[in-house]
Amino acid sequence: MIDKAQLDRLCINTLRTLSIDAVQKAQSGHPGTPMDAAPTIYCLWQRFLRYDPEDPNWPDRDRFVLSVGHASALLYSLLYLCGVKAASPSYEKPDQLAVTLDDIKGFRQAGSRCTGHPEYGWTSGVETTTGPLGQGVATSVGMAIAQRWLSATYNRPGYDLFDHNVYALCGDGDMMEGISSEAASLAGHLKLSNLCWIYDDNHITIEGSTNITFTEDVAARFLGYGWNVVRVSDANDLEMLTRGYQTFHNTHDRPTLIIVQSHIGYGAPHKQDTREAHGEPLGAEEARLAKASYGWDPDAQFYIPDGVTTHFKERLGRRGATLRAAWENLFAAYRQQYPDLADQIDRMQCRDLPDGWDSALPTFPADVKGMATRDSSGKVLNAIAEKLPWLLGGAADLAPSTKTHLSFEPAGGFQAPGQEGDYRGRNFHFGLREHAMCAIANGLSLSKLRPYASSFFIFTDYCRAAVRLSAMMELPVIYVWTHDSVSLGEDGPTHQPIEQFASFRAMPGMILLRPADANEVVAAWRVIMQIKDRPVSLVLTRQAVVTLDRTKYAPASGVSRGAYVLADAPDHRPDVLLLATGSEVSLCIAAYEQLQSERIKARVISMPSWELFESQSREYRDSVLPPEITARVAVEEASTFGWERYIGFDGTILGLHTFGLSAPLKVVAQHFGFEPAHVVAAAREQMARHATKQ
């Protein structure tokens, strides 16, 4: 009869050997961290985690984030042994296992659920895509914030619907990346006592011992952030680990960092250079020696001893099923007493909008003086947020400038109780932490809230990795980027975006929207709010732009199709096409009026979103950009890269080939030629050039 301690060791070593075999068979991957961290994660899942393998999307489950995404073999082994069920549209059958043994055998191979790094939406049980170090821990802060907000907003006496914790396994690399410092600092400020980072302190990175680069006192750093710090001196001591997790559960005023001392590639004592155990397969002989050190048959491959899966079911599985059933009964009673709140929760989980969400959207009268699109966006955002309780967010210390503050009562500020606000607040103050802000927004979205994050467009360079992951995970995060061009003026080249438009348009899954005036802003927000599976970057001006007269020009509803004919020749047979986005559309309108006075037939096309336009039918695209009309001018205060697809190599692109200029707006416009006369001259030159070819 095997005793409890022996069964624990057997389960831990099964996690290790499955990971070793997966990496070895693939001849690719990282076996070291799965070997040394297996006891740490086994203890968490078996003894503490609120998680039901039968329903990995249960709203009040604990979240486990594998920030050390290179240790993915450990997570896949765990998901398989725990019997986690498929719960993602990407699976053919919903009742199959999230990860099968065949998937593990196909680790890092095409079609396997066991990809090189964990991918959200592809493998059930993966709470977020990880791999770029620091992203997982930063995203976990967003998940912890979401739990606090959900609890404060929806829990009622006797109904603790949202009471889960968030755990993240991280390593030396995570601790070195700047994003983790940003996120940890904010988590400490917010006193997120539902957040636990588990630091696998093994002192190894790809280049060797951390002594060559990383000798700071991590514990002291986190104490300075306002965290509770717990040390576990031996990763293989389950009772010491248990006390560490229990300390986290008993801490109610701050997040917890558990520092677990481990040895990379534990069980592979023959490796002369532990870097190899971290970053590449052990090799056949070292794999045999590691297995032998665990008391394993060294020649057994993907071996699951009797009793292992049963043990996971009896501990994690039984506990999770009991907790989920109790939660479902609680929610059923809650639904009877608080039907309106329950309806909000239901819609949130499905990413559906409440009825009448758009009933208060403003319309803007024609105005030559106009307003900045950041200003009109702020008005629209507030109108929507009043109708959509789970729309929330903020800026990286720039909300007054990006106009993203929710000003209605009782929006409030999200802060730890006792500060200026509470956990019900919907205005987030991220501080000067652009990178963490966007990762946190991912965590909020993964928790089914509808977050927005905002900064100046140029500062997307600080947070691109997190933005890219939102696109990869198909999360409907709303990004509001302002100060969109050289027309912001005196701040100069350091603040004037040039290549960012091309960069974001090149990102798979990202929709970029650059509206031309206040009513296009309204139409853009209509589009944004109905998107469930892609992030959107809404790019806005600081300077005022004309609010176009929609009785004279086409309605702004054309924004939903990405590009539309705003102004046309009287007979709808133009001789030249003028294409533009954002503030440059009004520049083209001014040129159009001049050309029209000269009896030159022109068409102005507003192109707020290339991505939406490309999704339209060929017939519609040709109706906007008739192939036979080759005289074309594109105008955008940014890099010209990419415009060739719409104007051809013989077209004229009025854009930028250098960085910007520090000067007043009008001087900048004159310097770079963003004036109606320049557009008119380009149109004439295009017509003359193409006339000679006919």
Q: Give Cα 487 to chain centroid, integer Å.
A: 29
The residue whose two tokens read 């739990």 is 147
Of 149, 252, 138, residue with least CA distance to 187: 138
Q: Which residues of 582-592 are buried (b: 16+ CB within 10 A; e: fewer)?
A: bbbbbbbbbbb
Structure tokens at 515: 């509206």
| Separation CA 236–CA 230 (nearest Å) | 16
The set of catalytic residues is 434
| Separation CA 170–CA 181 (nearest Å) | 13
* Cα dihedral sign, 17-22-24-30: negative
Longest C-alpha distance within the chain, in Å?
Answer: 97
Amino acid in position 139: T
DSSP string, 149-200: HHHHHH-BTTB------EEEEE-HHHHHSHHHHHHHHHHHHTT-TTEEEEEE
The residue whose two tokens read 């979401």 is 146
If you compute the radius of gyration of the chain from its CA atoms, what whole number of angstroms results?
Answer: 28
| Separation CA 117–CA 481 (nearest Å) | 30
DSSP string, 506-570: TSTT-EEE--SSHHHHHHHHHHHHT-SSS-EEEE--SSEEEE--TTTS--GGGGGGS-EEEE--T
Pairing of strands 427-429, 391-395: parallel
| Separation CA 110–CA 270 (nearest Å) | 32
N- to C-terminal Cα distance for the chain? 92
Of 402, 355, 357, residue with least CA distance to 383: 357
CB atoms within 10 A of CB 347: 18
